[in-house]
Amino acid sequence: MNLRNRKNRIAAEVQTSAMNDIMFFLLLFFLIASTITNPNVIKLLLPKSSTSQSVTKKTVNVSITKDLRYFVDKKETKTDQLQTAIAAYKNLASEVTIVLYVDKTVAIQDAVVVMDVAQKLNMKLVLATEPK
């Protein structure tokens, strides 16, 4: 029996600590990148439209969620304070357009409330949709 050869062998090891660091940084990068790519925090299911246009002028985003919560530029607003919140944006620029984001499960009467406010303030209103 030759016992010397077994004692002098070099043990094979695989170092995976660098791999763990790389995977952690990739995970962190994708988490940060995914939050930046979706600026609209309010989750809505928009109705679909075959024709669409983009608005390039000064806009005010008004959103209505399925549980009838109103948001003016991501700030929650009560229905009775909706006109004053939107009027504050009208004073900032001469021509302001309201972009109305309404969940497709919301009744049309709740969207008409915002349309009435736009009519009273003589502002243009655009209904946001998703392309088909």
Domains of the chain: 4-37 (no CATH), 48-131 (3.30.420.270)
Q: Which tokens sit at 5? A: 């050869």
What's the rounded Cα separation, in Å, for the pair 132 and 123? 28
107: Cβ contacts below 8 Å, ≥ 6 apart: none
Model confidence over 44-62: pLDDT tens digits? Answer: 666 676 666 554 468 889 9
Beta bridge partners of 126: 99
Q: Which tokens sit at 116? A: 């009435």
Q: Which tokens sit at 15? A: 């170092």
Return the DSSP state at 66.
T
pTM of the model: 0.58
pLDDT at 27: 92
**38-42, 65-69, 110-114: range with lowest mean pLDDT:** 38-42
